Chains A and B, each alone.
Chain A
Amino acid sequence: MAGIADFLDSLVGGFDLICYSIVIGGLFWGLFVLRPWNDTTESSTVLSQKTVQLIYKGGFYLAGAQLFKIVLKVWLMTAILERWPFPEFAETTQFVVGITRFLLTLLLAGYCFQFLRNNANSKTNWLIALLVAFPMIISGAWLVHAAGRFDNQSLLMSLTVIHQLAAAAWVGGVLQLVNLWLLKKDKQVSSQLWPLMLSRFSVLGVSSVIVILLSGLPIALQYIDSWNGLIGTGYGNLLVVKLILMALALGFAILNKRAVTDYQANANDCALIKRVPHYVEAESLVLITLLFTAASLASQPPAIDIPTLTTSWEEVLNTFHPQIPQTTSPTHSALLAGEAGRVAIIDQVPSIAATEWSNYNHNIAGIFLTVMSFLAMLSYVRKLPITPPILNKYLVITNYWPLGFVCLGVFLFFRSDAETWPLGPIGFWESTFNNGEVLQHRIATFLVLFLGIFELSARLTQNPKSKLPYVFPILAAFGGLMLLTHSHVGFQAKSAFLIQVGHTTMGIFSLILACGRWLELKLDRPGKEFAGFVSVAALFQIGIILMFYREPLY
């Protein structure tokens, strides 16, 4: 059961950060953007009540997540150490501060539920809520990476808390914008609030990004001491991923800012109504992924601590080097024969069969995706006005490209974990729930299968109001999230990193795939087609990476 505990532990880390952003970002939103005490119209009151609702609900969930984290730690320790971890665990900083933070979060959520909810237009109530949140924010300092460090501990703990606060202000604010848009769409709030809040949030958003960078830079310099550390370690790699995701989110933020400026200058609300809400949705998707990446980053050893395990940039580049895909697989018996030596601690013998088995899986999956995405790109050619009708007739077949996902899902089900059912001796349930990596592969397999079924149905449906098309971008985003937090056991640190770097790159493309498809469904022409093409082009890139994938010998 350690696999599940470990899996949930990581999951709760990301969920915790999302709830934290909803609570703390919501408070900043209320104090600096909404300012409900200045506007007590019915429309504004509805918005402030909904904002407070989000805050206290987020607070209760955050308290639950905090408590669950402690339970999971106990579960994980019992499974790994094979004994009950008490009373020793009760004396650790993690337990004491974890319980304290749980109680402080409960206090904050309780205050917002009891007092702020009943008078959401009172400035005093908002200020008291921030005051009540303060000890909870501070307590978080003992639960971060820096708490275990020997050098500059206090400085790093403080900077991390500031970094988290700024990130919460940004992410929480963007989530509040989504909330506002949904309320506006339901005609629960005045349409005037949309441009007003967007404009006010621009200031908070820009300030948050500046603080994120100012607090993040010294932390990065403390944990990464060389360019190689940035490029050649898991910690550095995830930091680069965070920067790329941040750049993506900032791209959407800039588009929003431009639309607001355009509206203020010309009173033209076309972009503000038709495009900005969907950019905000895509930005939320990116930022949520960013939070999960941040949670994953916290479990990586800092680059400065592992100079001998750092990979050179040449080795990293070599991972993406084009090569002939491996289209023949070692036999299942050859693979199993090498397993005992591969997993041994003493007299370990690297298994060529295991490496080739994995290469084959990745390369064939790459061929599937490359062909599918190529067909998908051709389907956009059909939509061009210059495409001759005769060609259009033959290109109809390109609409069925999502069928490839179904075939890929079946392939992965049989090939992902050779030592488990249906090919290997370990049973389905036993392998799924005792090994986090197998569990991850099983989820990925079902994810791919569902992707195919949903997307094919979505593209063939005649119902223009169907919600089916939205399933694909949601699942693709989650797939990306999984790739960004993917890890392998049984590898040396360098090998594990070389695998990670390919997976994280594909994770970024998955997110682009998700955002592109989402925007294709939401935007008007010509942005619609452009976003759709970018989406399938990202899928093509994933296919190419997989097609050239080479696993290190281990």
Chain B
Amino acid sequence: MSTVAPAVQPVLPAADDRPEFENVKSWKAPIALGVFTVFAFVLLVVFGREGVSTMRLSTTSDLIQLPDLELPTRMTGIVISVLLLLIAGVSVWLVQSRRKVPIWLIAVFAVLFLIGFLVWAAAGESIPVPGLLFGSLSLAVPLIFGALGGVISERVGVVNIAIEGQLLAGAFTSAMVASLTNQPILGLVAAMFAGVLVSMVLASFSIKYFVDQVIVGVVLNVLVIGVTGFLYSQVMAPNAALLNQPPRFERINIPLLSEIPIIGPVFFRQTLIVYIMYVAVALVYYGIFHTRWGLRLRSVGEHPQAADTVGINVARTRFWNVSLAGAIVGLGGAYFTLGSVGAFGKEMTAGAGFIALAAVIFGRWDPIRATLAALLFGFASNLQNVLSIIGSPVPSEFMLMLPYLVTIFAVAGFVGMSRGPAASGKPYIKS
């Protein structure tokens, strides 16, 4: 579970088989912070750029207009490098005195690093901050739904590689049903059904026939890509006007909240699906950790024998919760067709399900952390979009690569031995 400290491994080469104690000094975080600090110093100070970076904090339609933030590029870089160095120093001191580096310190480090990079990249240009964040959230929505489904499914003990398939099935069905009925709400419901359908195949094969869950997941992805691709070419594309022109959700501005500077335009001028997402994140978090349903779900995922002993029906709990996970992921699929793109396209999810899976593991099977990880992915993708508009000093390929590199570093450096639910991936054979 997430409260258990990650098993720490000393970096000593001979320590391979040493028993792992809780208070062994883990130098991973300071080393990672140090590497990033050096990187920031080289980029922001050594290769520092002259000029003024402008951060536009308000959109033109805001009631409260904030003035643009103008930062001298090189000076900001120096200040941020010093701050990063300080945090790295604090982390060294913490580990030296056998304490853990708190997660919020790492978060502050990450935010400072990002700001430093943004200011460096925007020398002589201006970056629309609300637009950047708004786009990040939009890109992250399907990832968050996918990650929530993944968290539920894995917490109950079924590895869900089929997130990609559930997203794609949701996207296809919602486009078709919404186009036929001209009702985006019905499309949303249909997407949930499609996700549940994929989930039920996953659940019945892995729970009833004890097929390896990873196998079923991978195969289901291929199956859904095949079925939707086939139906798209055979049925949908020839009748696109009838079947593939779904009405899109309108943006809803929430009164008052949508007028808060920066936060308002980003979070409260969204479509219905995004508001559903906020509720879903909160509900899943509360449900998993603070209700009887969540306790049962986690116990089945951690120790099915024990759960069975106290009278919980393991197979049934797994089946219905995996189905629920499918419904949530299906909503994320609907966002592709009813929220962002506006029509179905072959393989339009383009690996989002796998990124969501990475967010689940990155977020250590915790709904809130997984959401944050998904937001990070969304931010990184959108950063590249924004920087390519203002003319990024780095080749765009490296910008696009950045989120994935950061994830590797983060997973290797901060998350480390991530431990999933103990019984995840194992069929429960009642004997």
User: Do A and B form a real pair?
Assistant: no
